[in-house]
C-alpha cells in the first residue's frame, strides 16, 4: 500500500460544453472527473469550488465518507449538488486506482467483460437523412442505433395522429434499412403524456425496439409502471435521477427493463454501482447515460466492466473535434465495442493543449408548440 497522502487542491474547468475537474494530491497523483448536469455546468462548477474547501487536506481514500459528509452537510440537495459530488467521486476513484496501479474496475470486483457494446446516436432532418445516418453507423460496425422517431418540427403538428403517424413511418424506415441483425433504440425524450406513449408504443411493437426510452416525464414511477405494463416494449429510463432513492421507487413500480444512470449525475461511480446492484436484484439491466465528454465515457466503461447486468453503453462518437482532442490516447473502439482499458484509474490522460480551447456553453431552449405552449425537451 502506498503511504497516505492528502488532497492539495481541486481544479474546475469549463471545457467546450462540459465541466471537468482535477483533484491534485500532495504525492503528485491527479484524479480526473466530470460533472454532468447537462446545461447547468456553470452553477455545478460553483458547487465544486464550494466543496473544494472541505476536500483540501483530506485523505483521498475515504471516498464514501467524503460523499456522505458533503451530501448530508446541507438541508438542501438536488441535481447541481449531485453533479458536483459525482465529479468528485469519479476523480477520487481515479486517484485510488492510480495510487494502487490498477483500473477502477479491479477495485469494484474485477472485470466481468473485456469489451463494452455501444449504441450510436443517429439522426437527420428528414426520414432519408435519418436512414442514411443509421446505415452509416452500421457500416462503421455498430450493432445498435438510437434515434428519436419525431421529425424536428414535431411540436408544430396540429394533431397527435399526424405526429404519431410520422414517428411510426420513421421507425419503420430505419428498421427496414438496417436489417434484422441491428437493434434499434427509440428515444422519446419525455415528449408524450402516458396515454399518448402507450398508444404509440403499441404501434411500434411491430418493429421490436431494443428499448423505448423516456416515454413520459420520469416524475411518477407509478405512472411509468402503467406505461410499461400496457405496451410490449422494454422501457429504459432514469437519466435524470440523482440518487439511489429515486431508483428504488422506479424499480419497486416495475417501471423499467433498463435503467439509465448518469455517472456524472447519480453519485459518480459509487452511486451508479449501488444503483446497478439494486437493479440486478430486480433482474433489470443497466444502460449508462452518456451525452458528455470522453471523461464520462471512460468512467462508464469502468462501471460496465465490473457489473454483471450491463446491457448497452450510450455512445455519441468521439472521433471528431473537440472530443477527439481531449485525451492523449482515445479509448479504443472496435466494431461498435469499446475495449476495456487496462491502465490505472480511469485509464486516460487529458491532453493539456486541448484544455485551452474556448468554452462553448449549452444554449438553454425548449420547443414551443403550435398553440404557444411549452413542450418538453
Q: Is 66 a catalytic residue?
A: no
The 10s digit of each residue's pLDDT in 257-268 is 999 999 999 999
The 10s digit of each residue's pLDDT in 9-46 is 999 999 999 999 999 999 999 999 999 887 789 999 99
Query: 332 φ, ψ to 5°?
Result: -85, 125
Residue with cell 452509416: 136
pLDDT at 6: 98
Alpha helices per DSSP H over 18-126: 41-55, 63-72, 79-100, 104-107
Radius of gyration of the chain (CA): 21
How long a stretch of residues is the chain?
377
Residue 192, CB half-sphere, CA atoms under 13 Å: how many? Answer: 25
pLDDT at 367 over 90: no
213, 190 Cβ separation under 8 angstroms = no
Query: 161 φ, ψ to 5°?
Result: -60, -45
Query: Domains along the chain?
Result: 7-102 (3.30.390.10), 106-345 (3.20.20.120)
| Residue 327 pLDDT grade (very low, low, confident, very high; cuts 50, 70, 90) | very high
Report the pLDDT averaged over residues 57-62: 98
| Residue 371 pLDDT grade (very low, low, confident, very high; cuts 50, 70, 90) | confident
pLDDT at 1: 73
**Any residues with CB less than 8 A from the CB of 256 and at least 6 apart, and which?**
224, 228, 235, 236, 237, 238, 250, 284
All cell numbers assigned to 155: 411540436
pLDDT at 332 over 90: yes
Element (H, E) at 285: strand 285-286
pLDDT at 195: 94
Residue with cell 481541486: 10
75, 257 Cβ separation under 8 angstroms = no
Angle at 196 between CA 192 and CA 197, to 5 degrees: 70
d(CA 17, CA 15): 6
Catalytic entry in 38, 157, 189, 283: 189
User: Higher confidence at residue 377 or residue 136?
Assistant: 136
Q: Which residues of 346-368 are buried (b: 16+ CB within 10 A; e: fewer)?
A: bbbebeeebeeeeeeeeeeeeee
pLDDT > 70 fraction of the chain, expressed in percent and rounded: 100
pTM for the whole structure: 0.96
pLDDT > 90 fraction of the chain, expressed in percent and rounded: 84
Catalytic entry in 38, 66, 121, 289: 289
pLDDT at 75 over 90: no
pLDDT at 38: 79
All cell numbers assigned to 316: 455519441
The residues that bridge with 350 in the sheet, in sequence order, are 327
pLDDT at 323: 94
pLDDT at 291 over 90: yes
Q: DSSP label at 310?
A: B
167, 199 Cβ separation under 8 angstroms = no
All cell numbers assigned to 95: 486517484
Amino acid at each position: 500500500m502506498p503511504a497516505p497522502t492528502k488532497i492539495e487542491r481541486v481544479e474546475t474547468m469549463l471545457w467546450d460544453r462540459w465541466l471537468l475537474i482535477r483533484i491534485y494530491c500532495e504525492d503528485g497523483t491527479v484524479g480526473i472527473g466530470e460533472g454532468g448536469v447537462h446545461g447547468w455546468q456553470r452553477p455545478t462548477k460553483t458547487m465544486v469550488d464550494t466543496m473544494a474547501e472541505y476536500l483540501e487536506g483530506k485523505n483521498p481514500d475515504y471516498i464514501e465518507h467524503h460523499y456522505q459528509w458533503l451530501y448530508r452537510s446541507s438541508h438542501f440537495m438536488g441535481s447541481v449538488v449531485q453533479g458536483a459530488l459525482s465529479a468528485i467521486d469519479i476523480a477520487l476513484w481515479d486517484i485510488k486506482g492510480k495510487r494502487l496501479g490498477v483500473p477502477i474496475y479491479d477495485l469494484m470486483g474485477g472485470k466481468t467483460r473485456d469489451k463494452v457494446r455501444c449504441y450510436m446516436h443517429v439522426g437527420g432532418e428528414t426520414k432519408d437523412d435519418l436512414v442514411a445516418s443509421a446505415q452509416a453507423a452500421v457500416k462503421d460496425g455498430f450493432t445498435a442505433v438510437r434515434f428519436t422517431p419525431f421529425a424536428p418540427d414535431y411540436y408544430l403538428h396540429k394533431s397527435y395522429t399526424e405526429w404519431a403517424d410520422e414517428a411510426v413511418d420513421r421507425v419503420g424506415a430505419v428498421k427496414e434499412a438496417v436489417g434484422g441483425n441491428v437493434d434499434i433504440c427509440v428515444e422519446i425524450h419525455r415528449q408524450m403524456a402516458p396515454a399518448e406513449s402507450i398508444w404509440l408504443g403499441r404501434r411500434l411493437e411491430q418493429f421490436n425496439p431494443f428499448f423505448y426510452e423516456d416515454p413520459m416525464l420520469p416524475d411518477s414511477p407509478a405512472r411509468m409502471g402503467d406505461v410499461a405494463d400496457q405496451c410490449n416494449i422494454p422501457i429504459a429510463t432514469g437519466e435524470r435521477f440523482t440518487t439511489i432513492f429515486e431508483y428504488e421507487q422506479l424499480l419497486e413500480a416495475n417501471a423499467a427493463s433498463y435503467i439509465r444512470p448518469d455517472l456524472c449525475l447519480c453519485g459518480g461511480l459509487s452511486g451508479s454501482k449501488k444503483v446497478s446492484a439494486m437493479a440486478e436484484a430486480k433482474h433489470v439491466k443497466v444502460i449508462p447515460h452518456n451525452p458528455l465528454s470522453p471523461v464520462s465515457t471512460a468512467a462508464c466503461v469502468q462501471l460496465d466492466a465490473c457489473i454483471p447486468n450491463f446491457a448497452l453503453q450510450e455512445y455519441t462518437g468521439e472521433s471528431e473535434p473537440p472530443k477527439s482532442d481531449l485525451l492523449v490516447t482515445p479509448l479504443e473502439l472496435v466494431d461498435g465495442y469499446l475495449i476495456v482499458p487496462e491502465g490505472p484509474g480511469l485509464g486516460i490522460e487529458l491532453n493539456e493543449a486541448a484544455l485551452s480551447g474556448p468554452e462553448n456553453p449549452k444554449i438553454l431552449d425548449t420547443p414551443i408548440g403550435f398553440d404557444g405552449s411549452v413542450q418538453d425537451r
